[in-house]
Structure 1
Amino acid sequence: MNGELLSVLDHLERDKGIDREILMSAVESALVSAAKKALGSQTEEVEVKIDRKSGEISVFSGGKEIKSEDFGRIAAQTAKQIIIQKIREAERDVIFTDYNSRVGNIVTGTVYRFEKGNIVVDLGKTEGFIPKSEQSSKENFRQGDRIKAFVVEVKKTGKGPQIVLSRANPGLVKKLFELEIPEIYEGIVEIKSISREAGDRTKIAVFSKDEKIDCVGACVGMRGSRVKNIVKELQGEKIDIVRWSDDIKEYIIAALSPAKISTVKLDKEIKQALVTVDDDQLSLAIGKKGQNVRLASKLTGWEIDIKPKVKAAETALGPEEKAAPEAAEVAVDISSLEGVGPKTRKLLEDAGLDTVEKIAGSSVEELTKIKGIGEKTADKILNSAKELARKK
């Protein structure tokens, strides 16, 4: 009997992942309850001890040991019920702890059933569910399909842990990028912001901590292979990968891609940007039902107002802007030149070469005099600047 008890407890620890000591305490507690019931309400304080090595059970009442024969059928049945209850509670605690630690991460399961619009997902030891509000309207799943979902929260309920999952949360896209892009997982490329309308479009802003690694290129992959895998997982949702910049004008221009932006005026006090575009770019900049500008606003944290050039000029804030509209034009940033990363950009700016025109008017000799810029890099930068200056 005692050896069987230890074997059962060891088996439960292996299969259910419940700590052996928790199970021992549960059995002791159950036997105390059973002893009290068997011996009657007038029984003095009952104590049960189980030897952790041999499994031998000792029951004491009023300082006197009670042999196991004194337990009747009712006591044994009660002990069994309480043991089962304690084991279930312990299992639930293990599941709660396990999945609570996974909040903010992705789990994989199987679509088990559909219940009042919710998708119930079989996660192996337990179930999770995706409420209708956390589903993408464009996605379709069938019973038995494998599914990846984002863990939103884990709640304790009378029926056990309730694991709330999501396919619409922006965190799902972020974690998919971490799984698919080694540079993001390793921390070389950082995700700065995400805005998402599940099922339709996501904009994600990325930044490279290493100037030798192109953050957008790393996310796209060879011939789009990396981002294609993410799009496939999201069942065709469009993804715009935006290069993050601490220059808010550049950032807004990138966020509104694929539209071509003419000018950007900023009101930093109220975090509002007035963006002007050519007439043929207006619908592209605004997007279907305003989606492009709405996602760009969420991504940058700025309110963006888009107008065609003529209307923007009419609604200019003051005479200074009307008299000199060209002053509001967005200059081409020197970081767009070949060979210019964040560090090189700072070196050039410190040397007074802060525009494409100034760099194009310099020489390789001038550029190599700047500490940190070699002859090959200088040649690349100069050729790129001259090419860009010619196009303008």
Structure 2
Amino acid sequence: MANKEILLVVEVFSNEKEIDKDVVFQAIESALEAATVKRHINTIKARVAIDRKTGDYKTYRQWDVVAPNPSCVGDVEFPTTQVLLEVAQLDDPAIKVGDVVEEEIDSVDFGRIAAQHAKQAIIQKVREAERKKIVDAYQSRMGELVTGIVKRIEKGSVFLDLGGHVEAFIAKEDMIPREAIRIGDRIRGYLKDVRLEQRGPQLFVSRTAPELLVALFRLEVPEIAEGTISIMGAARDPGSRAKLAVKSNDPRLDPVGSCVGMRGARVQSVTNELAGERVDIILWHPSEAQFVINAMSPAEIQSIIVDEDKHSMDLAVGSDNLSQAIGRGGQNVRLASQLTGWELNVIDASKAELNSEAEIGKVKQMFMDQLDIDADVALILAEVGFNTVEEIAYVPVSEMLDIEGFDEDLVNELRSRAKDALLISAIAAEETRETVHPAEDLLAMAGMDDDLAYELASQGIVTMDDLAEQSIDDLLNFSGITEERAAELIMKAREPWFAEAKSE
């Protein structure tokens, strides 16, 4: 009778939970093993094996084979679950330490097992199987769009019912700010992670990820799904504004118009899904400067200064367009920066022009002093982009010949004077090293190098205290010093001051 009951239980649980029958068999075996151990006064180890076809089962008591332990008073530490190797080898000479000795014993009656105990064991196994099944099913879907019904809301976090007894979790920080969500609402999200946790499988969904924006447009715009249009990037300020960069793989197709749709239907559909988030469709461009100009839309950029080393761009805009370029709370420039990957600085065009003129005047004067040339030639060099004497000395002749009004004789003369100026500077620096010596604390200071230390010393900045008294502008006159490095060096030099003040 018992065997039929076992087969019936396996059949019912397997069909209801849609899990493998072997999982239910294992759960019943665990329940029978627990019942067998419980009926013995002393702790024992047991194994139950159920025949998967007939439902018949046998129970075995187990002992672990161990080596003699000198610290034990008796033969073994746990006599009810262990047996000495030499004793086990009397029955099986091939047995070794770590093996298990089994002996068949009477089985407990399946019908007499405590119902709650058996039920809990089976349910536990079933839950574990269900969790693994869900993880296996959704692991490959990570990074996709999922749709569910809001099941419950707890402290701003949302639990979604995805159907088929599958639940997803949206943390409070992954919810769109100020979005009105009610139980029963159907919403979409981006499946960002799948983890098997103690409380069950957790499918982590985000409503704020830029990938959700991409997935929604892929759903709404057939040309994206077909590959005719490519999405090159996305940036979001969730619930407020977003930027999406697109390009067309077909020159006959307008990617921006396709994403906007007839009368804005496609982009409006996405906006409705994202709680009214306004989306700017940006035309991607292979030129990074032009891409940045596009990304700053609707602001108009008058000029750009690119700093490749810092991977940043200074964007000059008109005074009347400045607030639009920056956006409320810096939103426009921040999203454009995220979209393009460049650090963007918006500056007033009139101020930028003044700064540029001042910088050109400074470089012009430096060329006049070091190369002994007239103001006109020095101004041309500064305006075409030369900033240092080294550039003039070693730039290819062909590049200088491209400058309007420069002939071969003038170019050769300029290069010759530049090399002479560098040589004189090097000799002067060497003489300075021989006569001026920076203090040991300045030489050993973090971030300092010997050349800079000697250059500082030549101008009277010999110790860390001397350096600590300088301003950032004072240090910018030294070679290779940027504002960032100047600030770091000054703060490092002032550290002993702060330490003294704290100790007092």
> TM-score, normalising length from structure 1?
0.73
For the 8 Å contact 2:25–2:50, the answer to whether it is kept is no
Kindly provide the amino acid, as one letter, of the partner of residue 241 in structure 2. Answer: R
Q: Separation in 2 of the partners of 1:93 and 1:163?
A: 12
Q: 1:319 aligns with which of 360, 364, 371?
A: 360
For the 8 Å contact 2:36–2:107, the answer to whether it is kept is no
**1:54-81 deviation line (CA, Å, top 9, x unaligned):** 442221436658567x456236653333
Q: 1:303 aligns with which of 330, 339, 343?
A: 343
Match of 2:482 in 1: none
Shift of 1:255: 0.1
* 1:120 maps onto 2:159 in alignment: yes
For the 8 Å contact 1:231–1:239, the answer to whether it is kept is yes
For the 8 Å contact 1:154–1:162, the answer to whether it is kept is yes
Instruction: Summarize the alignment of residues 48-87 of structure 1 with structure 2, pairs less than 5 Å apart.
Output: 48-51=49-52, 54-61=53-60, 64=104, 66=106, 70-71=109-110, 73-74=112-113, 78-87=117-126
Q: Separation in 1 of the partners of 2:231 and 2:20?
A: 39
Q: Separation in 1 of the partners of 2:304 and 2:201?
A: 50
**1:182-216 deviation line (CA, Å, top 9, x unaligned):** 22223332222111110110011112233333322
Match of 1:255 in 2: 295
Kindly provide the amino acid, as one letter, of the partner of residue 30 in structure 2. Answer: S
**1:228-285 deviation line (CA, Å, top 9, x unaligned):** 1101111211001111112011101100011122222211111111212223322221
Q: Which runs of 4+ in 1 moved over 6 A?
A: 320-328
**1:90-133 deviation line (CA, Å, top 9, x unaligned):** 12222333344433222222222222222232333143332221
Shift of 1:167: 1.5
Match of 1:214 in 2: 254
For the 8 Å contact 1:28–1:50, the answer to whether it is kept is no
Alpha-carbon distance change, 75 to 41 in structure 1, aligned in 2, over 3 angstroms: farther
Q: 1:198 aligns with which of 238, 248, 253?
A: 238
Alpha-carbon distance change, 133 to 57 in structure 1, aligned in 2, over 3 angstroms: same
Query: 1:123 is paired with a residue of what secondary structure?
Result: strand
Q: Which runs of 5+ in 1 are unaligned?
A: 329-392
Q: Separation in 2 of the partners of 1:7 and 1:156?
A: 30
For the 8 Å contact 1:180–1:226, the answer to whether it is kept is yes
More relative contact order, 1 or 2 (CA 8 Å, 6+ apart): 1
After superposing the two structures, state which structure 1 stretch, 21-30 or 262-271, moved more.
Answer: 21-30
Kindly provide the amino acid, as one letter, of the partner of residue 27 in structure 1. Answer: I
Kindly provide the amino acid, as one letter, of the partner of residue 282 in structure 1. Answer: L
Match of 1:176 in 2: 216
Alpha-carbon distance change, 133 to 81 in structure 1, aligned in 2, over 3 angstroms: closer
Larger gyration radius, structure 1 or structure 2: 2
Query: 2:314 is paired with a residue of what secondary structure?
Result: strand
Match of 1:369 in 2: none
Q: Separation in 2 of the partners of 1:93 and 1:288?
A: 47
For the 8 Å contact 1:32–1:48, the answer to whether it is kept is no
Q: Separation in 1 of the partners of 2:244 and 2:186?
A: 26
Count of matched residue pairs: 325
* 1:283 maps onto 2:353 in alignment: no
Shift of 1:4: 5.7
Kindly provide the amino acid, as one letter, of the partner of residue 55 in structure 2. Answer: E
Match of 1:32 in 2: 33
Q: Separation in 2 of the partners of 1:131 and 1:319?
A: 53
Alpha-carbon distance change, 71 to 41 in structure 1, aligned in 2, over 3 angstroms: farther
Kindly provide the amino acid, as one letter, of the partner of residue 259 in structure 2. Answer: C
**1:363-388 deviation line (CA, Å, top 9, x unaligned):** xxxxxxxxxxxxxxxxxxxxxxxxxx
Match of 2:134 in 1: 95
Kindly provide the amino acid, as one letter, of the partner of residue 58 in structure 2. Answer: V
Q: 1:150 aligns with which of 190, 214, 224?
A: 190
Alpha-carbon distance change, 88 to 44 in structure 1, aligned in 2, over 3 angstroms: closer
Q: Separation in 1 of the partners of 2:248 and 2:24?
A: 50
Q: Separation in 1 of the partners of 2:239 and 2:218?
A: 20
Alpha-carbon distance change, 186 to 13 in structure 1, aligned in 2, over 3 angstroms: farther
Match of 1:378 in 2: none
Q: Which runs of 5+ in 2 are unaligned?
A: 61-101, 365-378, 386-504
* 1:273 maps onto 2:323 in alignment: no
Kindly provide the amino acid, as one letter, of the partner of residue 260 in structure 2. Answer: V
Match of 2:179 in 1: 139
Alpha-carbon distance change, 72 to 113 in structure 1, aligned in 2, over 3 angstroms: closer
Q: Separation in 2 of the partners of 1:72 and 1:286?
A: 76
Q: Separation in 2 of the partners of 1:10 and 1:216?
A: 57
